[in-house]
Chain A
């Protein structure tokens, strides 16, 4: 789960990492009050879980009250790279002397934790890595390792923090690691970690986390009270919320064909098949969702799954692709019929069964004489074309391979 900036900075503060004073606001009245409290100039930052918001006009410095209200009214209704703005963070403006970049993340290839840092921060680390690869340092923290202040100090020197900043940087690195571990994060990124203050007054200078990105490990939600403090009811997709209630892996997409299958890999593969067929047919039909019913799905799991997908007005037809390993196609077939009984038959369903109890499953669907269902097995090219055709057809069972 990705956090909003205002949530991420809360976690940093809890771990003693300096951040600018800031207040989260959800309407222009709250922005007005917050700006009043923080003083001018201050920064209005759109809260969206996507990068490049600055370039999209989502971050603005405002100089007075009118400016704050007018600017906030421009930003609130914005959709940035497909993400609706969920609120504004009003933050005090800081005088930036220098910018560093530091992140800690899970490293899949070395199978430990990766500290990525550069003394040339400010822009995106990918850009810096391309332009000045030598300035980007990559260091590792082992899962069994004890990362302490001494190790953090060595790391701060290796990263290339200026001599005067090393001690504070080491403390921040150590606190970031603690924040990462305590919260079961998969990413804690501070960009920029800025040196702020009056350029002419050495004693005023210090490091401060001006922006942060944190992702949490969904698998660890059980030991963090389900991450309830970060729940986002207003902005979550209703279908995704409904699927979550039933413990289903669901992702809402933009197309017309509902896709349900067993196993994340097979469902991804089915999305590819639907998109490819859409391209082949020249009608650009695309998947409306990803829905994995998991292993060993029961009648009820399939019933809930089909109900959720069919209730999406975007969905015009449904493709069910099940390769029965632990999952029994018979259970899936009964689940499909149970859902159709509840919903009535409004949209065509194309079913592909293979593996465990696939013949029984097909027979159940066949005997039910549902006019909207079409069944195909196995998964061959000539069938895949039909999977995305939208006209309800006469029942069709191809069981020649069995």
Chain B
């Protein structure tokens, strides 16, 4: 178990038969993920061919879980139906729900996140690139849940958690020669199922992860402090990058959560909070990668 999921765990895809769902299910399968079913009540009983592999479509998550023993679900359902789809997965008892969908109303997210916490279910996202783990066993493939491109990195000692999709790929690329245990996209919305802080805690628990790269962005005010506090309880070094030093106040920068309001949530504030807690912060992705290399040099051995 690297992060929230075991190698080879059976996975279903909600919204598999849509355009995004089809594209990314094919990619996830190609990356070695054990996709065992899709969910779409209107196409229940049919199968979809992915390069010769037949993936059955079920009416709902409960039926899918009964037939496949699914441990995780990846959600590509459009925003207006996302809340219902996630509630369905929680009620079916699926332990890990990775929500890729962008544009879910925050009230809906608040509802499903609280329900998931009550039921002991982990949500990753929404509005995130997903979760990718790399197997410790060189014969086995890891699990790729979402849209993180396969093949950028291989297994290594780093963990990565990020508010942003593309910057995740950027940092993965910069540190590709070192390698990762897992990369988790926490998502760019104001409320997410797994916060940066929770991801740090999970990487702290994971034996093979030796250091963590954290990518943040403007918006909110408590996250950086939360991370700084979490870091006090961490034995592993963390290096951070934050995007949006030049973002003007009051303008939402693409992500629903990325907005500096009333002078709060600036990149500079976050940088200072993190640095005060002993977390070095790069001014560019390249600089963050260089800082991580320096940190790794100080570790006894990997």
Contacts and interface: CB of A to CB of B under 8 A. Distances in A.
Interface of A: 2, 49-51, 106, 108-109, 111-113, 126, 142-144, 181, 184, 186, 217-220, 222-223, 249, 251, 253, 261-269, 271-276, 286-287, 290, 292, 295-296, 323-326, 354-356, 378-381, 384
A108 B283 contact: no
B246 A143 contact: no
Interface residues of B, number: 65
Contacts of A113: 110
Nearest to A292: B254
Given A106-B190, A219-B105, A323 B170 contact: yes
A276 B163 CA distance: 22
Interface centre among A262, A267, A324, A381 (most CB of B within 10 A): A267
B114 A143 contact: yes
Given A253-B248, A271-B247, A325-B129, A108 B190 contact: yes
A272 B283 contact: yes
B107 A220 contact: yes
A50 B250 contact: yes
A380 B173 CA distance: 13
Contacts of A380: 286
B164 A263 contact: yes
Contacts of A126: 262
Interface centre among B252, B257, B267 (most CB of A within 10 A): B252
A268 B247 contact: yes
A111 B110 CA distance: 6
Interface in B188-247: 188, 190-191, 195, 215, 217-220, 222-223, 226, 241, 243-247
Interface of B: 20, 23-24, 79-80, 103-107, 110-111, 113-115, 118, 129, 147-149, 152, 162-170, 173, 188, 190-191, 195, 215, 217-220, 222-223, 226, 241, 243-248, 250-258, 262, 267, 283-286
A112 B105 contact: no
B166 A272 contact: no
A106 B215 CA distance: 22
A126 B220 CA distance: 15
Contacts of A378: 173
A269 B282 CA distance: 11
B228 to A, nearest CB: 13
Nearest to B149: A325
Given A111-B110, A323-B166, A326-B147, A219 B103 contact: yes
Interface centre among B105, B110, B243, B254 (most CB of A within 10 A): B254
Given A181-B107, A266-B167, A379-B170, 10 more contacts: A108-B222, A217-B107, A218-B252, A265-B217, A272-B244, A276-B284, A286-B246, A323-B169, A326-B24, A378-B173
A143 B167 contact: no
